[in-house]
Structure 1
């Protein structure tokens, strides 16, 4: 079995992050979004398998609350447990930074992501109308939150 590592990411990883992002999201973050996040001091971590970046997350921590801004897994590596590893790492990173809760937005149509988040105890706390772009309009975002003291998965 190849070596699987969770590592902090920086500017030298942005091209790989962008490549994954463009391959899995219809309206991906830009290179500038990733660079700005790293420049702002947000926590960026990745999962590497035998050196290949297979997934990443970007996490913003503000006082005692964390916000998962982005998480993505390489298309050919989805449904292999990497999303779970990344989410666990994001929750641990947030908790170590003193956050008591973790927020995120997700498309209601992203059933696989919703199932993963619910497995970890995330609950809907709000709705952002017309948050995500679509080819023929906009899609709402579900705002989910998890208490970091009560991690289930």
Structure 2
């Protein structure tokens, strides 16, 4: 494993799927007592969109290009798409027939700015940062002022 400068923990949630949703992010700078949390809720979205948006928003917060990052997520959807190379095949085929094209395109922009590794962690398994992200995501989905997920399309 590379020596990462930043550990990012993310989780997404949707109540109803589709339904009200949110994401939670915990960012930790390795070797420093520096930690930040972020969350946001949306009126109508899906779990997969929130899982992916959490990673995008976390990567957007990194100010220095080339930052070494490990993203810890319980989303097989996100981890497998990147680590198994599916995403790059989808990109070559211009995302034909793929869901969440808008977010995958945004993800690729942010992903390519940094050195990003992914680590899958089992959800709801007493992993402190993952549990915190889950709490942040669920709480965000229950707020009264929710954003519109403009890229979400009902099938």
Scaled by the length of structure 2, what TM-score is found? 0.30
Which has a greater percent of strand?
1
Scaled by the length of structure 1, what TM-score is found? 0.30
